[in-house]
């Protein structure tokens, strides 16, 4: 059974091998320690309603691409928050608040991180202020408000919302829970990355197949670096790490290309909103500059079609709800396989067990519906 007509024409925008690649477990665990990773699993697995998210198989796609397995970690089922982000922000809130009840949590967000922080604050009965830019959809704002947080809209882009969040938090003594690290703001982002590593802890128990390749979406790189830390701790064999970005926001690819943290200019926002970032977070940079084998970028062109293929069982026997940020791993895998040179370069073949992270479900309900109808045209 063929997954879908036309996918054999899909192309990557860019492909870059990392000349500085060396995967060293202890180097990675220097930035997010083994203890931090173990503690995050211990805490989060004790939360009410915790359940490992499904590790699905995209069998129709693997047949089409002639691979051994394509696994899909379905984060649409994460704590009813519909995104892996539930693991990060909420965990950081728990650690930062240290059981105190009289503190106020704040954060700036493009959507899912803020939702996780708001949910984490509600779990612990804490007040919460979430700052969003003018580009964050009303539908995402509604989801954040559901958890009782106050949402403050700021004119301009994400950076403007972060500046305002920092300014007001300093003035009012609110505790900022941000997922982006800088040289002097590391602990909270490390906690969020540790939270994300749980996906790998779960996978290490969900299959006894050795994963050979992981396609990891990146915005500022927190999710990718958290997963890499999980790999360093929990996997017996190290798979190839492929970083995936929208071509309009390829800050990881550009940083790895020039071997230094690069701030890029985003001319037009990608439909993959959570990944539309112009600069990497500091700790993820330290990790990914060594641990990623290659970086790829893709356009928005096939996002809607991929959302439909997931939903309409074109890739697997079950219908999967995957939002816009769940698609680029699949699009990149297809793009790499369509080019015999890139396929060979990363040694993708009939023995490969590929892992794709289905980062989110219909976290933005309105956009998800629009993508379904666009992709079916
Ligand atoms: C919904 C969503 N938001 C954000 C991101 C980016 O995460 P990070 O900024 O940690 O790289 C992703 C995936 O990469 C995602 O799927």
Q: What is the pLDDT of residues 211-261, one digit of tens each?
A: 999 999 999 999 999 999 999 999 999 999 999 999 999 999 999 999 999
Q: Is 275 in the pocket of ligand 1 (CB under 6 A)?
A: yes
Q: Is 227 in the pocket of ligand 1 (CB under 6 A)?
A: no
Is the confidence at residue 136, as pLDDT, over 70?
yes
Contact, 286 vs 20, CB < 8 A?
no
Cα 112 to ligand 1 centre (Å)? 8
Cα 320 to ligand 1 centre (Å)? 19
Q: How much is the pLDDT for 15?
A: 98
Q: Is 93 in the pocket of ligand 1 (CB under 6 A)?
A: no
| Mean of all residue pLDDT scores within the chain | 95
* Average pLDDT over every residue of 165-185: 95
Tell me which of 136, 250, 274, 285 to substitute to probe ligand 1's pocket, judged by most ligand atoms within 8 Å of the beta carbon: 274
Domains 7-84+191-376 and 89-178 share a fold: yes
- Please state, in angstroms and as integers, the Cα–Cα distance from residue 331 to each residue in 11, 51, 69, 292, 305, following that order: 8, 28, 16, 18, 10
Cα 1 to ligand 1 centre (Å)? 32
**What is the rounded distance in angstroms from the CA atom of residue 75 to the CA atom of residue 52?**
9
3-state secondary structure the chain: CCCCCCHHHCCCCEEEECCCCCCCHHHHHHHCCHHHHHHHHHHHCCCCCCCCCCEEECHHHHHHHCCCEEEEEEHHHCCCCCEHHHHCHHHHHHHHHCCCCCCEEEEEECCHHHHHHHHHHHHCCCEEEEEEECCCCHHHHHHHHCCCCEEEEECCCHHHHHHHHHHHHHHHCCEECCCCCECCECHHHHHHHHHHCHHHHHHHHHCCCCCCEEEEECCCCHHHHHHHHHHHHHCCCCCEEEEEEEHHHCHHHHHHHHCCCCCCCCCCCCCCHHHCCCCCCHHHHHHHHHHCCEEEEECCCCHHHHHHHHHCCCCCCCCCCCCHHHCHHHHHHHHHHCCHHHHHHCCCCCCCEEEEEECECCCCHHHHHHHHHHHHC
**What is the rounded distance in angstroms from the CA atom of residue 353 to the CA atom of residue 71?**
7
Local confidence band at 3 (pLDDT 50, 70, 90 cut-offs):
low
Q: Is 220 in the pocket of ligand 1 (CB under 6 A)?
A: yes
Q: Is 274 in the pocket of ligand 1 (CB under 6 A)?
A: yes
**What is the rounded distance in angstroms from the CA atom of residue 46 to the CA atom of residue 125?**
18
Contact, 1 vs 282, CB < 8 A?
no
Q: How much is the pLDDT for 2?
A: 58
Cα 277 to ligand 1 centre (Å)? 9
Local confidence band at 110 (pLDDT 50, 70, 90 cut-offs):
confident
Cα 113 to ligand 1 centre (Å)? 9
Tell me which of 221, 229, 272, 275 to substitute to probe ligand 1's pocket, judged by most ligand atoms within 8 Å of the beta carbon: 275
pTM of the model: 0.96
Q: How much is the pLDDT for 226?
A: 98
Contact, 234 vs 204, CB < 8 A?
yes
**What percentage of the chain has pLDDT greater than the value 90?**
91
Instruction: Please identify which residue in the block is written with the tokens 């991929």.
Output: 306
Nearest CA to ligand 1 atom 3: 274
Contact, 12 vs 244, CB < 8 A?
no
CATH class (in words) of the domain with range 7-84+191-376: alpha beta
Name the CATH architecture for the domain at 89-178: 3-Layer(aba) Sandwich (3.40)
Cα 216 to ligand 1 centre (Å)? 9
**What is the rounded distance in angstroms from the CA atom of residue 259 to the CA atom of residue 343?**
24
Q: Could you state, in order of their start, the residue ranges of all structural domains in the chain?
A: 7-84+191-376, 89-178
- Please state, in angstroms and as integers, the Cα–Cα distance from residue 108 to each residue in 160, 225, 309, following that order: 9, 20, 33
* Average pLDDT over every residue of 147-152: 96
Atom of ligand 1 nearest to the CA of 325: 16
Q: How much is the pLDDT for 306?
A: 98
pLDDT in tens, 192-215: 999 999 999 999 999 999 999 999
Contact, 143 vs 73, CB < 8 A?
no
Q: Is 112 in the pocket of ligand 1 (CB under 6 A)?
A: yes
Tell me which of 73, 143, 359, 365 to substitute to probe ligand 1's pocket, judged by most ligand atoms within 8 Å of the beta carbon: 359
pLDDT in tens, 284-316: 999 999 999 999 999 999 999 999 999 999 999
Token pair listed for 316: 């697997």
**What is the rounded distance in angstroms from the CA atom of residue 193 to the CA atom of residue 197?**
6
Tell me which of 81, 86, 140, 219 to substitute to probe ligand 1's pocket, judged by most ligand atoms within 8 Å of the beta carbon: 219
Cα 219 to ligand 1 centre (Å)? 5
Q: Is 111 in the pocket of ligand 1 (CB under 6 A)?
A: no
Local confidence band at 80 (pLDDT 50, 70, 90 cut-offs):
confident
Q: Is 270 in the pocket of ligand 1 (CB under 6 A)?
A: no
**What is the rounded distance in angstroms from the CA atom of residue 338 to the CA atom of residue 218?**
22
Tell me which of 194, 223, 288, 321 to substitute to probe ligand 1's pocket, judged by most ligand atoms within 8 Å of the beta carbon: 223
**What is the rounded distance in angstroms from the CA atom of residue 117 to the CA atom of residue 178?**
9
Cα 222 to ligand 1 centre (Å)? 7
């Amino acid at each position: 059974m063929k997954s879908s007509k036309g996918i054999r024409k899909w192309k990557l925008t860019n492909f870059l091998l990392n000349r500085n690649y060396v995967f060293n477990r202890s180097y990675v665990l220097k930035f997010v320690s083994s203890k931090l990773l173990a503690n995050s699993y211990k805490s989060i697995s004790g939360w009410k309603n915790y359940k490992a998210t499904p590790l699905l198989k995209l069998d129709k796609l693997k047949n089409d691409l002639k691979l051994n397995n394509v696994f899909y970690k379905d984060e649409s089922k994460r704590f009813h928050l519909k995104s892996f982000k539930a693991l990060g922000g909420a965990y950081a809130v728990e650690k930062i608040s240290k059981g105190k009840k009289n503190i106020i949590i704040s954060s700036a967000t493009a959507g899912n991180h803020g939702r996780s922080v708001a949910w984490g604050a509600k779990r612990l009965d804490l007040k919460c202020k979430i700052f969003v830019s003018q580009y964050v959809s009303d539908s995402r704002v509604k989801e954040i408000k559901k958890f009782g947080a106050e949402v403050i809209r700021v004119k301009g882009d994400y950076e403007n919302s972060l500046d305002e969040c920092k300014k007001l938090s300093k003035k009012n003594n609110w505790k900022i829970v941000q997922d982006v690290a800088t040289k002097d703001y590391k602990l909270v982002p490390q906690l969020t990355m540790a939270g994300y590593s749980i996906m790998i802890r779960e996978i290490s128990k969900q299959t006894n197949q050795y994963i050979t390749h992981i396609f990891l979406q990146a915005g500022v790189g927190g999710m990718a670096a958290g997963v890499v830390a999980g790999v360093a701790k929990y996997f017996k064999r190290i798979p190839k790490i492929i970083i995936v970005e929208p071509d309009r926001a390829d800050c990881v690819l550009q940083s790895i290309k020039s071997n230094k943290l690069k701030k890029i200019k985003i001319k037009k926002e990608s439909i993959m909103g959570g990944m539309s970032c112009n600069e990497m977070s500091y700790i993820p940079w330290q990790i990914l500059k060594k641990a990623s084998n290659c970086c790829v970028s893709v356009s928005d062109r096939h996002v809607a079609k991929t959302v439909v293929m997931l939903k309409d069982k074109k890739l697997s026997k079950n219908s999967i709800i995957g939002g816009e940020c769940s698609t680029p791993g699949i699009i990149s895998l297809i793009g790499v396989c369509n080019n015999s040179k890139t396929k060979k370069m990363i040694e993708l073949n009939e023995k490969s067990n590929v892992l794709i992270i289905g980062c989110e479900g219909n976290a933005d309900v309105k956009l998800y519906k629009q993508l379904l109808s666009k992709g079916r045209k």
